[in-house]
């Protein structure tokens, strides 16, 4: 990206002044090096989002921002329905409510090292992964509707998890306002056999150990210490979410024209929040969010069973589950007004600061856990939301490293088998049904997650708490 196009506010904050049809500025959070490495498309897309009706504050881009469909991945924007605000399927993304949950295990690294090959095999057998992966669970259409209404709460009620898990999930595991009747039969059929599965792409199930702690007090509140073993699950709403996104992008393109909404890019197809199409999408999207929450809950249950077979004394307790492809109704103070806004986070994580009422009691003084996954074979990080982030970016932070090259380019550069061997030499076991998928997700295909997380920390979006390193990675 050309730095001359930006006004530097401080070391990690850059501003694009409103021009043309922009209603608000665009604000990017990143180091100089990350900004220079960003594709110019991020600049264009951040500006395009700033042109949409009812946008409030600014169009934001996180340190991991890269080109996406309509919104940049790593994009955040809030819309006020009282000012004609819109909802955009492109501002949520296709993998609705894709997210990460982290569990502590009560184990130390030394207890896992000697049995990690057995554990890797148990996890790989327990949790189906890969393109088109299906599990042992088949839901009837009636059961699908129950799941889409109930999310993780539905899963726990059916024995897939613990009641206490729900306190550590956004929305307590169930997104209100879900409308299964707005989800097409085709979308439901795509999901009937996919609950409890990882899928493909950058999704994973990873056993990790904490190798560095930056904030002892917060880490203690989160149950993290150097050498402790954790489990991370990264996946979303699978085929159902993708189908919903595909269908509503088409209907929103029509709706935008009908309501006189000028689209600087057709990929920004949207509809006014209060319109029939807008309300229909919100109902379907919330159902997809429940699908993702239910999916991660079932995978948690399957993972607990796999751990118990190899390490009977393990106790997998949920630290937190946070989504990063959502549109949520939230109260935010923008300028001198407290407003009810529809906050789109696409490839971005909610990051409420200490004391926020949405954070469960044991974690509230520390701030909301923000889990930022690295690429395969690299570190991941746990951060905590800050009060400063509310003012700066609608309580938002980045969600991962962010791609630095396309999957096609990665395939030309790396071979899956060689990557598996190289990571094994480093003590990281990879299990995947696809060598092609491993090559596409090569660590070198992503930005440096440490640089991204440092930028988020120093920009005040979230505070670094701990760093974790993979031991086992089940990859789709």
Backbone angles phi, psi at 64, to 5 degrees: -95, 15
Beta strand 317-323 with 7-10 is unpaired
State both tokens at 329: 């109704």
Beta strand segments in 239-311, E: 270-272
Per DSSP, the three-state class of 44 is helix
How long, in residues, is the chain?
A: 476
Q: How many CA atoms lie within 13 A of 458 on its CB side?
A: 15
Using only C-alpha atoms, what is the Rg of the chain? 21
* Domain parsing of the chain, residue ranges: 3-475
CA dist., res. 310 & res. 337, Å (int): 54
| Structure-token pair, residue 97 | 């409510």
Can you tell me the distance from the alpha carbon of 35 to that of 176, in angstroms, rounded to the nearest whole number? 38
Specify the CATH number for 3-475; select among 3.40.190.10, 2.40.50.100, 3.30.450.20, 3.90.1860.10. 3.90.1860.10
The answer to whether the CB of 28 falls within 8 A of the CB of 11 is no
Report d(CA 205, CA 84) in Å as an integer. 41
3-state helix, strand, coil in the chain (%, to 5): 40, 25, 35
Is residue 399 among the annotated active site residues?
A: yes
Instruction: Going residue by residue through the chain, which has 476 residues, state the pLDDT in tens, using 9 for 90 and above.
Output: 999 999 999 999 999 999 999 999 999 999 999 999 999 999 999 999 999 999 999 999 999 999 999 999 999 999 999 999 999 999 999 999 999 999 999 999 999 999 999 999 999 999 999 888 888 999 999 999 999 999 999 999 999 999 999 999 999 999 999 999 999 999 999 999 999 999 888 899 999 999 999 999 999 999 999 999 999 999 999 999 999 999 999 999 999 999 999 999 999 999 999 999 999 999 999 999 999 999 999 999 999 999 999 999 999 999 999 999 999 999 999 988 899 999 999 999 999 999 999 999 999 999 999 999 998 889 999 999 999 999 999 999 999 988 888 899 999 999 999 999 999 999 999 999 999 999 999 989 988 999 999 999 999 999 999 999 999 999 98
- Distance (Å, rounded) from C-alpha 360 to C-alpha 343? 21
Q: Of 174, 185, 193, 199, which is closest to residue 287 (Cα–Cα)?
A: 174
The number of helices, as runs of H, and strands, as runs of E, in the chain is: 14, 19
Burial (CB count <10 Å: 0-12, 13-18, 19+), residue 474: buried
Choose the catalytic residue: 66, 203, 242, 399.
399
């Amino acid at each position: 990206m050309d730095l001359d196009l930006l006004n530097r506010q401080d070391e990690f904050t850059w501003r694009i002044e409103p021009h043309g049809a922009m209603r608000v500025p665009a604000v990017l959070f990143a180091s100089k090096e990350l900004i220079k490495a960003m594709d110019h498309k991020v600049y264009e897309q951040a500006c395009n989002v700033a042109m949409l009706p009812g946008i409030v504050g600014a169009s934001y881009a996180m340190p991991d921002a890269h080109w996406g469909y309509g919104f940049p991945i790593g994009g955040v924007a809030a819309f006020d329905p009282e000012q004609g605000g819109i909802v955009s399927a492109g501002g949520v993304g296709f993998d609705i409510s894709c997210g990460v949950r982290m569990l502590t295990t009560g184990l130390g690294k030394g207890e896992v090292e000697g049995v990690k090959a057995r554990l890797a095999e148990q996890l790989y057998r327990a949790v189906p992964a890969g393109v088109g992966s299906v599990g042992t669970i088949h839901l009837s259409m009636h059961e699908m509707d129950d799941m889409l209404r109930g999310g993780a709460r539905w899963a726990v009620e059916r024995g897939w998890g613990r009641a206490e898990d729900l306190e550590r999930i956004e929305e307590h595991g169930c997104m209100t306002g879900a409308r299964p009747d707005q989800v097409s039969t085709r979308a439901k059929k795509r999901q009937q056999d996919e609950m409890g599965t990882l899928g493909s792409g950058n999704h994973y199930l990873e056993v990790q150990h904490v190798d560095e702690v930056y904030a002892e007090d917060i880490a203690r509140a989160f149950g993290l210490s150097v050498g402790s073993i954790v489990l991370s699950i990264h996946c979303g709403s699978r085929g159902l979410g993708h189908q919903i996104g595909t269908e509503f992008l088409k209907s929103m393109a029509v709706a935008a024209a009908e309501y006189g909404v000028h689209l600087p890019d057709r990929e920004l197809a949207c509809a006014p929040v209060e319109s029939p199409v807008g309300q229909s999408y919100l109902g379907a999207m919330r159902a997809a969010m429940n699908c993702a929450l239910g999916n991660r809950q079932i995978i948690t249950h399957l993972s607990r069973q796999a751990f118990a077979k190899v390490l009977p004394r393990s106790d997998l307790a949920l630290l937190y589950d946070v989504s990063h492809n959502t549109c949520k109704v939230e109260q935010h103070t923008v300028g001198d007004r407290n407003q009810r806004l529809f906050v789109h986070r696409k490839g971005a994580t909610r990051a409420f600061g200490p004391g926020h009422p949405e954070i469960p009691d044991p974690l509230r003084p520390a701030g909301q856990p923000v889990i930022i996954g690295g690429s395969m074979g690299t570190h991941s990080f746990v951060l905590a939301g800050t009060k400063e982030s509310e003012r700066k970016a609608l309580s938002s932070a980045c969600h991962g490293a962010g791609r630095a090259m396309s999957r096609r380019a990665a395939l030309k550069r790396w071979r899956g088998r060689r990557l598996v061997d190289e990571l094994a030499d480093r003590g990281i076991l990879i299990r995947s049904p696809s060598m092609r998928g491993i090559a596409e997700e090569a660590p070198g295909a992503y930005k440096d997650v440490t640089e991204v997380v440092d930028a988020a920390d120093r920009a005040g979006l979230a505070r670094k708490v701990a760093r974790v390193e993979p031991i086992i990675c089940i990859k789709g």
